[in-house]
Amino acid sequence: MESFSDGVIAVAITLLVLTISVPSIGPGETLVHALLKQWPRYAAYTVSFLTIGIIWINHHAMIGRLQTADYPILILNLLLLMSIAALPFATSLLATFLKEGHGQKTAAAVYSGALLVMSIAFTSLNSLILLRKSHMLKAELSAERRRQILIRNVAGLVPYAVATALAVVSPYVTLAICAAVAIFYALPIASGV
Amino acid sequence: MESFSDGVIAVAITLLVLTISVPSIGPGETLVHALLKQWPRYAAYTVSFLTIGIIWINHHAMIGRLQTADYPILILNLLLLMSIAALPFATSLLATFLKEGHGQKTAAAVYSGALLVMSIAFTSLNSLILLRKSHMLKAELSAERRRQILIRNVAGLVPYAVATALAVVSPYVTLAICAAVAIFYALPIASGV
Amino acid sequence: MESFSDGVIAVAITLLVLTISVPSIGPGETLVHALLKQWPRYAAYTVSFLTIGIIWINHHAMIGRLQTADYPILILNLLLLMSIAALPFATSLLATFLKEGHGQKTAAAVYSGALLVMSIAFTSLNSLILLRKSHMLKAELSAERRRQILIRNVAGLVPYAVATALAVVSPYVTLAICAAVAIFYALPIASGV
Amino acid sequence: MESFSDGVIAVAITLLVLTISVPSIGPGETLVHALLKQWPRYAAYTVSFLTIGIIWINHHAMIGRLQTADYPILILNLLLLMSIAALPFATSLLATFLKEGHGQKTAAAVYSGALLVMSIAFTSLNSLILLRKSHMLKAELSAERRRQILIRNVAGLVPYAVATALAVVSPYVTLAICAAVAIFYALPIASGV
């Protein structure tokens, strides 16, 4: 299960590069200008790459705790992978519409909504493992430690829910929140959260 | 053999996301509307993702029973992988034509036909392993248990054959049957089937 | 080295599906007709998939003989992987031009030429391992057995050289030879060749 | 961490083939001519493939020295993977604009700049491991040996910095330098550098 999950996540994270297309130069425009103009593509690429990367680190830790996996765990893991594998689409959608007059708020809501769905799938799988399948863990975890992990997971949902709600205000705020979450979890302090 | 198969299946399942393209907005249309209009893309993505995921789970169990693999097993496994790797095409075909006036029945028949071919390849490989290569299994399986597994495999072909035949009636019925199969196998009860 | 090579080969073989595009229907045409018309795409996909799959089986056997790998082996393996990773391009080229009035012979020559280059890279790597790095093998191989393996490798080059030369006669002959090679190596008898 | 990194690098190196598109034939043009005209695509593919391949060999050696990995190592490795996964874009950009009247210098600067960023990420990760996390190494390395490795890493940055600076002179010089670096590191002598 781990090598398959690693494979799907590795392919999804690398397919993100398709978000960044080679620009065509308009009349009277330089390539520098054309490249700078598509900054939403680089921003969306970076935020999605870091987010999937951090999900992988956490997924690795989650699966590493398991001695074995039963059918419900495999199926819930599959749903989690489906939400991760859909992110290249959500990323391209945001990158395409962020600066457009029409559709920018919808695109931002879909993007942070997709991250929210992924986080919910992750939290559900971790809850299943820690609350109902704890006999499958390699080492026993205290109830205290398990609660701590899950609270941290649930806390991770809040910013995405807020970002999705704020898409009606501004798609830039939505992207900024998603970026802040990725940067926060990339800081050394986050490893001990 | 297992890591290579896992790799091919992981890439194929992740490439499915290319089925979902970023829509262009028509005049007087909102992005919400444009996104909703392409619901066949999300439906085809979801059904194919779950189906390939469940094939992976079963493939993993099948290969896990083997101690070693000889040449006929490798080649038949390669044919199975070829049928799985072709699914992103069949999925895009269905997603593109499901709502079109022309070609929708053909596309649906190709889609469920592709799933049928994949199931036949899977059943053939499992038959080869369980009936003629049983000396290569890690643990001996009773004739009863082997028959049980194969009957279950053959039973899995029936809905896809029916779905393909019913494409001439309605492509929606075809898709619904394929979706029902995926959901059925994703239920906890299916692990014990 | 093995897991990286497996990964590259698995991605390359699965990317072949991009060769098969969803057709657009011309006026007065049915989808069935449009799908049948692009049969070169299915043919090229199948031949390339089988060929890469068989190369993987042989690559796996070649690497499996090695206890360790030094720098020249790693670099030559990298060149082999580069030739395999380029096959999705050669496959699409053949699929696009096989039925065209212009360019069909060139496309066929490039296709079988690409398979020839891949076979030369494979044979070179195997020669390096068996002739000059035999102290790195897990088990000693008799000079007789090593010669046998290499003769078989060199013999495998001949049909691709012939197919490339015959592209000026007919691209269909070229494709037929490449297909015959793939089918021959997929037969059980080939495992003992 | 190793299998995930291997996966990302394997996908990125194989996605490079998307740089080489099937050409369309202009009026009065043969396919041979159309294929030759897009030589920047083959050149950029080859240089990028070799460069990523060599980075993989070095990455493998770097990770192989580690007994375990802590959070800062995982995050810095993620940033390195992000710079590698972006190379298919930089490669396509260079391949598209190398022969164009406009934008060719910009494209060359972005290309070698992307290789420079990747090298800086690699050197940073290696510095972190060798200077601050040396207690996580499998076998102790002498201070002398560690300095030697890092000097070699830093020396590897220089040609890319020069190539980026020289893009304003000629994009061909930039590509030639990047090619020379790849070929130099592919020579047997480079394994002992």
Assign D102 to helix, strand or coil: coil
Residues in chain B with CB shorter than 8 Å from the CB of C63 are none
- The residue ranges of chain A whose pLDDT is under 50 are none
What single letter denotes the amino acid at residue D169? V
Nearest chain D CA: its distance from A32 CA (Å): 7
- Per-residue confidence band for B56, with pLDDT thresholds at 50, 70 and 90: very high
Look-up: residue for tokens 């049915």? C30
More confident residue, D192 or C144: C144
**pLDDT value at residue A116:** 98
- The position carrying tokens 């391009």 is C89
User: What is the rounded distance in angstroms from the CA atom of residue D45 to the CA atom of residue D17?
Assistant: 7
The predicted pLDDT at position B11 comes to 97
Closest CA to D9 of D121, D99, D101, D137: D121
Partner-chain residue, chosen from C10, C17, C53, that has the shortest CB–CB distance to B88: C17
Test C31 with B107 for CB contact under 8 angstroms. yes
**Percent of chain C beyond pLDDT 90?**
74
The predicted structure's pLDDT at residue D192:
57
Give the pLDDT score at A192.
55
Nearest chain C alpha carbon to D10: C8
Domain boundaries, chain A: 2-192
pLDDT at residue A138 in the model:
86
Which structure tokens are listed for D113?
Answer: 């700049």
Q: How far is CA C187 from CA B118, C55, C193, in A?
A: 20, 14, 10
Type of residue found at D163: A
Per-residue pLDDT for chain D (193 aa), expressed as one digit of tens each? 788 999 999 999 999 999 999 999 988 899 999 999 999 999 999 999 999 999 999 999 889 889 988 999 999 999 999 999 999 999 999 999 999 888 999 999 999 999 999 999 999 999 999 998 888 888 888 889 889 889 988 988 999 999 999 999 999 999 999 999 999 988 877 765 5
Nearest to B11 among C11, C188, C190 (CB): C11
Minimum-distance CB partner of C22 among B11, B72, B93: B93
The one-letter amino acid at C28: G
Q: Which tokens go with B88?
A: 């992103």
Mean pLDDT of chain B: 93
- Please compute the mean of the pLDDT values over residues B112-116 and round it to a whole number: 98
Q: What are the Cα distances from residue C17, in Å, to A78, B84, C54?
A: 23, 10, 17
CA distance C29 to C20: 19
CA neighbor of C109 nearest in space, from C171, C153, C67: C171
**DSSP character for B46?**
H
Contact predicate C10/C141, CB 8 Å: no
Residue that wins the pLDDT comparison between C115 and A63:
C115
Measured in whole angstroms, how far is the alpha carbon of residue D50 from the centre of its chain? 8
CB-based contact (8 Å) between A22 and chain D?
yes
CA distance D173 to chain C (A): 24
- Of the pLDDT bands very low, low, confident and very high (cuts 50, 70, 90), residue C98 is very high
* Chain A residues near residue B20 by CB distance under 8 angstroms: 86, 89
**pLDDT the model gives residue D20:** 96
What are the two backbone dihedrals, phi and then psi, of residue D86, each rounded to the nearest 5 degrees? Answer: -85, -10
Supply the pLDDT for residue C159: 97
Chain C CB within 8 Å of residue D17 CB: yes
Q: What is the pLDDT of residues B68-90, one digit of tens each?
A: 889 999 999 999 999 999 999 99
Crossing angle for the helix pair D171-186 and D87-97, nearest 10 degrees? 130
Nearest CA-CA partner of A54 in D79, D69, B53: D79
Beta bridge partners of B66: B137
Residue C188: pLDDT over 80 = no
Q: Say what the pLDDT of residue D193 is.
A: 52
Cα–Cα distance list, D111 to A17, A37, D161, D170, D171 (Å): 15, 18, 11, 13, 10
Separation in Å, CA C67 to CA C135, C138, C191: 9, 5, 23
Q: For residue B133, which residues of chain C lie inside 8 Å, CB to CB?
A: none
Q: Is the pLDDT of residue C157 over 60?
A: yes
Q: Per-residue DSSP letters for C27-51?
A: TT--HHHHHHHTHHHHHHHHHHHHH
Find chain B residues with C-beta within 8 A of C45's C-beta. 86
Query: Which pair of structure tokens corresponds to residue D31?
Result: 């396919």
Task: For C116-125, write each residue's pLDDT tens digit.
Answer: 999 999 999 9
Tell me the whole-structure pTM to 2 decimals.
Answer: 0.95
| Cα separation, A167 vs A162, whole angstroms | 9
**How much is the pLDDT for B192?**
55
Distance CA C92, CA C108 (A): 11
Rounded CA gap, D71 and D169, in Å?
42
Nearest to C4 among D10, D15, D49 (CB): D10
Asked whether B51 and B9 are in contact (CB, 8 A), the reply is no
- Strand-pairing partners, residue D66, are D137
pLDDT, residue A179, reads 97
Q: How far apart are CA D171 and CA A33, in angstroms?
A: 18
A to D CB pairs, distance under 8 Å: 78
Q: What share of residues in chain D are helix, strand, coil (percent, to 5)? A: 80, 0, 20
d(CA A179, CA D77): 19
In single-letter form, the type of residue at position D31 comes to: L
Largest separation between any pair of C-alpha atoms in chain D? 67
Tokens for A111? Answer: 């993007």
